[in-house]
Amino acid sequence: MNHATFLSLLLIFGAPLLSFYFTVPVLAANSTSNSTHILLSCGTSETSIDYVNNLTWIGDSKTNYISQKASQTSPIPYGSPSVPYNNARIFTSNYTYTFPLSPGRYFLRLYFNPANYSNLIASDSYFAVTAGPYTLLSNFSAWITVTALTYDYLVREFSINVTSTTLNLTFAPSTTQPKAYAFINGIEIMSSPDIFSTSPAYLADGTNSLFPYDPGMAFQTMYRLNVGGRSLNRFEDSGLYRSWDDDSIYIFGADFGVTFQKDSNVTIEYPSTMPQYIAPVLVYETARSMGPYPKINLNSNLTWILNVDAGFYYLLRFHFCEIQYPMTKVNQRVFFIYINNQTAQSQFDVIAYSGGIGIPIYMDYVVITAGSGQMDMWVTLHPDLSTQTEYFDAILNGLEVFKMSKVENNLAGLNPVPPPQNIVDPTRAFNNKHKESKGKVMAIIVGVVGSVLLLSFIVCICLFMIYKQKKKKDKVSEEGKVSEEATVWTPLSFYGISNSQSDVSAKTNTTSTGTSTGNGTGSHNSSLPANLCRHFSFHEILAATNRFDEALVLGVGGFGKVYQGEIDNGSTKVAIKRGNPLSEQGIHEFQTEIELLSKLRHRHLVSLIGYCEEENEMILVYDYMARGTLREHLYKTQNAPLTWKQRLEICIGAARGLHYLHTGAKHTVIHRDVKTTNILLDEKWVAKVSDFGLSKTGPTLDHTHVSTVVKGSFGYLDPEYFRRQQLSEKSDVYSFGVVLFEVLCARPPIISNDVPKEQVNLADWALFCQRKGVLEEIIDSYLKGKIAPQCLKKYAETAEKCLADQGIDRPSIGDVLWNLEFALQLQINAEESGSVVGGTTSGEETPAVILRKKELADEPTSESTSTTNTTMSMGGRSIASTDSDRLAPSAVFSEIMNPKGQ
């Protein structure tokens, strides 16, 4: 759907849709009387809308902020990342934007996407940025920074005090680096209340003396963590458009503690002294504590390691709130707060400071660091027994770290030093891969081909989780698992800031080198940092699976078995995949992959909990999904049919998971095998995408060898990918389009026997019916009459667009998601107005179920995941199908054999 259509629809359905879509209330900061919110998309004259955060970005060429016209503009040389990263303004000499502002405090957010603009090289860019009297960045290389962090682009957030009526924001190319230039993709300026002077800050040196607050200071946000909760997008913030990240990847060591949510009978009530803009309710509603075992807690610490620039003052803001019974009295949970091994606070008791359960409190501490370069900041909690405390435990709900411009208004740190394996030729990293010389990358390819084969092998471990048992309800969730009540889409989750400098976001191109993700946290750069992913001993795995008890086998794939298991003394159910033992070399690759996978956490992804590589074993431990695969609920099943609303919600969940893979993680992760058996359902029917990631992007997809590893499942395979061996996110969009029709029609993507030829391939058949306007005749008979016509129309159009022949004509998964949300809203409206009866969720046997049971022949075996050679015979079918063939569906593989793209 293009933006114009979208807007017109928005006008028609505006109010209900928006209130539905943005389910989280925006608690306006009390700055509305004179609030400023400038969003500049640099280097363009176009206005673009970021629908996710409901923000409109104005092209800077149109505005008066541009004084000189001397600078170049450039579109991004590849792909189409989202606003504001899709255009840049380039400066080869000093350049100043002038913003008329009323005096006060402002958030200034700078958006950088280092790329090879025009004929410039990304790594040549070095520049300084000053805002009024403050030096924000100096000799800054966005390229080195993203390389070290393994992101594609990043945001820097500052809070500055504007004292005059204009703000001059100057970009100055470095004078010491040859060929240096400066660039900027987006500038955001937003008036903010004074969030810093609202509470006293104590020096975290054990003396507990007050830190003298200087109102003229500027701050740079280094971290903003929703501890024990999921990442929150900018729209979910309490009015200041800050993003909050999941804290789990910063936890040091094996002691993750436990995460939990507020009891349902607790309401968060801000004290009158505390404005809501300090932090949103969502931050206080979740927390992490050390766990229920006092002995373990006494002998361990709950520690976060945060990489920062040495030589600065830092303000650490801790957010606390007791949210579960019976924590209502003082002296129940009393603990130490250590920062960098010094006691910042002893005898901290949330109830004593806040006054009761459900009442938030925040504490500010200032630490002074010495030296230069990067350093790790340790934040540690430990029970304090100096009072008669009842539980030996500690709790934290949120944590913010700000760098302070204490000295000479300077906030600029040094560029990070990328781990050696991350230093790559930027032309390689950003240019079109087809232009690469073979010889230059041969060494990489050789290594990579090996790993590709190996990894494909890992991928192929079957993930049929034929789960029947219900997962035990357990309030204390496993580490890293996101909150169950999460309902809001967090696409640019800013997740995975393994390193300094907050607000770093997503990867958008697919041509990164991906040789390694290196965690970049400097001091613990070993093969697998324990703080990312749990390591299981083989002994633990044996115990969890009752020595690989055959009775616990959930599924068997071509390359191994999936067992149901229990870890942590039976408190957590998991799925354990056991592959064949690995070689030494294989283990290294395995570790690299695990490191990447373990950083991918999202409500709609099946989380990798841990792994085991002892004794050359290759074992992965995943969340257990109680309701099995989506397909098991669609056809050839004893399960009751899903209502249309349920199906839409599941598709929306899966689309969110994919959206996160495509845009929310450090690397664009292309799933490559989206299908209904890779969409799993937990006990609450939350859809989770599985089996992702081991097929990450990078040179594995290099043109020179990808032809041997076209991966995917027949019926879902992107024809363009097959023709050109060019993989992009749009290949997943294609497969998802097939999933959408599969969900609608409740039939397999391929039926090889007993059907007329034109019906063999669902994608062809559904497109054919859709274009003939007879789609309703092939939908699941259970759904007939239960789908609101407008909803069906929207849904079918969306699915149809996903199946566009050319990737470029397909919508992004974000657009798909939006359209599905919209379709759901149409359905809800229709059901509420009584024009459609949606059907119940309870499982009475309808005729459709019975029909389903005797339904349709088995799919061909090749349907399952396979590593296939592009030269495969395709069942001997002719390559001669043409474009017109596509409209009249012909053979099974007409889609993938269309030679037009050769």
CB atoms under 10 Å from CB of 515, counted, come to: 17
Query: CA 541 to CA 48: how far, in whole Å?
Result: 51
Nearest distance, CB of residue 68 and ligand NAG, angstroms? 10
44 in helix, strand or coil?
coil
CA trace torsion 630, 633, 638, 643 (10° rounding):
170
- Length reported for the chain: 902
577 in helix, strand or coil?
strand
* Residue with smaller CB distance to ligand NAG, 139 or 846: 139
Query: CA 572 to CA 610: how far, in whole Å?
Result: 13
Nearest distance, CB of residue 813 and ligand NAG, angstroms? 22
Nearest distance, CB of residue 130 and ligand NAG, angstroms? 6
Nearest distance, CB of residue 220 and ligand NAG, angstroms? 16
Provide the angle, in degrees to the nearest 10, between the axes of the packed helices 644-659 and 813-832: 160
For the question of residue 247 being annotated catalytic, the response is no
Query: CA 418 to CA 429: how far, in whole Å?
Result: 15
CA 401 to each of CA 139, 209, 221, 316, 565: distance values in angstroms, whole numbers, following the listed order: 23, 19, 6, 5, 39
* Residue with smaller CB distance to ligand NAG, 31 or 678: 31
* Residue with smaller CB distance to ligand NAG, 168 or 616: 168
Nearest distance, CB of residue 464 and ligand NAG, angstroms? 36
Q: Extract the runs of DSSP E, i.e. beta strands, from 568-661.
A: 572-579, 608-612, 618-623
Nearest distance, CB of residue 120 and ligand NAG, angstroms? 19
CA 372 to each of CA 72, 311, 369, 409, 412: distance values in angstroms, whole numbers, following the listed order: 35, 5, 9, 17, 11
* Residue with smaller CB distance to ligand NAG, 346 or 546: 346
Task: Determine if residue 757 is labeled as part of a ligand binding site.
Answer: no
Query: Using CA of residue 806, residue 809, residue 813, residue 818, what is the dihedral sign?
Result: negative
Nearest distance, CB of residue 661 and ligand NAG, angstroms? 26
Nearest distance, CB of residue 218 and ligand NAG, angstroms? 10
Q: How far apart are the first and last CA of the chain?
A: 28
Q: Please answer whether residues 640 and 685 qualify as being in contact, where contact means their C-beta atoms are separated by less than 8 angstroms.
A: no
For residue 576, the cross-strand partners are 563, 621
Query: CA 286 to CA 324: how far, in whole Å?
Result: 10
* Residue with smaller CB distance to ligand NAG, 194 or 858: 194
Nearest distance, CB of residue 391 and ligand NAG, angstroms? 15
Nearest distance, CB of residue 310 and ligand NAG, angstroms? 18
Buried residues in 192-216 as b, exposed as e (16+ CB within 10 A): bbebbebbebbbbbeeeeebebeee
Look at phi and psi of residue 802 and say left if phi exceeds 0, alpha if psi is from -120 to 50, else beta: alpha
CA 617 to each of CA 19, 534, 558, 693: distance values in angstroms, whole numbers, following the listed order: 50, 15, 17, 20
Q: Please answer whether residues 696 and 525 qualify as being in contact, where contact means their C-beta atoms are separated by less than 8 angstroms.
A: no
Query: CA 625 to CA 883: how far, in whole Å?
Result: 41
Q: Considering 673, 702, 732, 805, which one is annotated as catalytic?
A: 673
The residues, ordered by sequence, that sit 6+ positions from 419 with a Cβ below 8 Å of its Cβ are 148, 516, 518, 520, 525
* Residue with smaller CB distance to ligand NAG, 209 or 299: 299
Nearest distance, CB of residue 102 and ligand NAG, angstroms? 4
- The first and second tokens of residue 312, run together, are 């600065």
* Residue with smaller CB distance to ligand NAG, 330 or 587: 330
Give burial (CB, 10 Å; 0-12/13-18/19+) of 294: middle
Nearest distance, CB of residue 851 and ligand NAG, angstroms? 43
The residues, ordered by sequence, that sit 6+ positions from 551 with a Cβ below 8 Å of its Cβ are none
* Residue with smaller CB distance to ligand NAG, 34 or 569: 34
728 in helix, strand or coil?
coil
The residues, ordered by sequence, that sit 6+ positions from 156 with a Cβ below 8 Å of its Cβ are 109, 110, 112, 136, 137, 220, 501, 502, 503
Closest CA to 258 of 428, 27, 413, 483: 483
Query: CA 543 to CA 565: how far, in whole Å?
Result: 9
Look at phi and psi of residue 427 and say left if phi exceeds 0, alpha if psi is from -120 to 50, else beta: alpha
Query: CA 790 to CA 559: how far, in whole Å?
Result: 45
Helix, strand, coil shares of the chain, percent, nearest 5, are 30, 25, 45
The residue type of 735 is S
Applying CB under 6 A, the residues found at the interface with ligand NAG are 18, 22, 26, 30, 33-34, 54, 94, 96, 98, 102, 104-105, 128, 130, 161, 163-164, 166, 168, 172, 194, 215-216, 263, 265, 299-301, 325, 338, 341, 380, 382
* Residue with smaller CB distance to ligand NAG, 2 or 265: 265
The residues, ordered by sequence, that sit 6+ positions from 563 with a Cβ below 8 Å of its Cβ are 545, 548, 549, 552, 553, 554, 575, 576, 577, 578
* Residue with smaller CB distance to ligand NAG, 62 or 793: 62
DSSP one-letter string for 790-852: HHHHHHHHHHHHHT-SSGGGSPPHHHHHHHHHHHHHHHHHHHHTTSS----SS----HHHHHH
* Residue with smaller CB distance to ligand NAG, 58 or 851: 58
* Residue with smaller CB distance to ligand NAG, 98 or 864: 98
- Residues annotated within a binding site: 577
Residues carrying an active site annotation:
673
Q: Report the binding-site residues for ATP.
A: 577
